[in-house]
Structure 1
Amino acid sequence: MFYELKKTGIHVQKQKPLPLIYEEVILDVGYRIDIMVENKLILKIKSVEALNDVHFAQLLTYLKLTDCKLGLLINFNVTLIKNGIKRIVNKL
């Protein structure tokens, strides 16, 4: 799905499909990105007891496949939301 925030003109995509290509096998929807902003920022949304290495690896994979530089891993299962936000960078 594609959204445009009317007042700001920011392009936001929700549940953006990401193809997976491995050798000669092509899957049109190998992954789904939770939220992508302006094709530059990926948001991975979680609500878990604690973030672990799998969550970081998943976001880093999305960043590499899309050639985006920045991703935010956001865990909503925390008392203060600022404690649930982790910044991940790709090739900086």
Structure 2
Amino acid sequence: MTKRELTHLSYEITGYAIKVHKALGPGLLESVYEKCLHYELNKNGYDVKQQLIIPVIYDDLLINTNLKLDLLVNGLVVIELKTVESLLPVHEAQILTYMKLLKVPQGLLINFFTDNITKSMKPFVNEYFNMLED
């Protein structure tokens, strides 16, 4: 996987999020958007894990947590969905931590409580992205 291919994958995911948002509009529960986006991605051939439990390892100790990731696409893109008036720094920290724990190069923080997904969505990359070829 190259940086360009991964960026294209995120672009496609964003398109499906926009499709879901256009069909449903803002104002629903996060879980509704999650189920619909999961359906769209699966229907279009992506490998999607939903409500994936994230393992936390501290000093060789596996800690049982209840950390659940909304969606993981093709093992490469973490998707964290929100339905809030505005995204907060804690939401950004959450997705960055999930990406680090899972060693995933890209993340999309998508807020469905908006009139425009593209304006409110935040993409993230980390050191695993930087290790990919251009």
Which structure has greater strand proportion? Answer: 1
Task: Map 1:7-86 onto structure 2 (within 5 A).
Answer: 8=45, 10-23=46-59, 25-86=61-122
Greater relative CO, 1 or 2 (CA 8 Å, sep 6+): 2
Secondary structure of residue in 2 paired with 1:5: helix
TM-fit CA distance, 1:84: 1.8
Q: How many residues align?
A: 89
Q: Percent identity?
A: 36
Moved more, 55-64 or 18-27: 18-27
2:58 and 2:66 map into 1 onto residues whose CA distance is: 10
Gap runs ≥5 in structure 1? none
1:90 and 1:58 map into 2 onto residues whose CA distance is: 13
Q: Kindly report the root-mean-square deviation, in angstroms, between the aligned alpha carbons of the 2 structures.
A: 2.0
2:118 and 2:93 map into 1 onto residues whose CA distance is: 21
Which structure has greater helix proportion? Answer: 2
TM-score normalised by the chain length of structure 2: 0.59
TM-score normalised by the chain length of structure 1: 0.84
